[in-house]
Structure 1
Amino acid sequence: MAKVSLNLVKEVLQRNGIDARKLAEVLNQIRQEAEADAVEREKPVKKHHVVLVSSPEGGLPDDLVGWVVQVPEDDNPMVAAKRIVETAERFNASPRGKKLPLA
């Protein structure tokens, strides 16, 4: 829904001959709805990036394979790999995952 200024709404209602008391009541209701809408919105969770590096041989080879993932700021970055594995296992247990399993 498009955002419209209260002044524009007021001008349009006045041009259409709305009673002053009714106009004030409508504008008050619009303000209350706008405030309620502003309260309902949650702030997005702040996240930081974690780099996961795959090294199957155990050492640091010349070429590294890695992934960059986002985790919430208040979460421990050490559990990112564990969560990815758990999510893949849950997906593979689902009907869709049984048809197209993740490796």
Structure 2
Amino acid sequence: MAKIDINKVAEILKKNQLDPKLLRQIVEEMNAITQAEEDGEKLPPVKKQFAILVSDPNGVLPKEELAGWVLQLPETESVATVEERIFRGAYDYNDTRKGRQYPVKTVGEAIEQVPAKIFKEAELWVKTKVPVLMLRTNNEIPRELKQPD
């Protein structure tokens, strides 16, 4: 829907010899509507972050925070090949002109800097370029909700 300035609408109506009283009433009504729309502007969206929740019923993982990345690979492939795919993407990137100028040396740098196109050739899709916190859970829901003190 096209938007037009209220003053231009008023000029068009005046040019078509509309009654001044009716013209004023229409312009006031349009101003009220636009003012209400401006007052009701949307709040900026809440920024969100990814987190990885890992089931740890046996308490094997350490209790401190760990960081990681969210990745995807084909279902038919083993997840044990993820590191190899990252290495392959990093090697391919380092062979490019930009990679020779700014080579990646760590897994974190590779995930952040290597373009998706190169990882796609290695059948790996990076969902988060920055590391996200990994949380652990014992995979049980308590019978009673704990009340805050």
Q: Using structure 2 for the length normalisation, give the TM-score.
A: 0.36
When you count helix as a share of all residues, which structure comes out higher?
1
Structure of larger gyration radius: 2
Q: With a CA cutoff of 8 Å and minimum separation of 6, indicate the structure with the bigger relative contact order.
A: 2
Q: Using structure 1 for the length normalisation, give the TM-score.
A: 0.49
When you count strand as a share of all residues, which structure comes out higher?
1
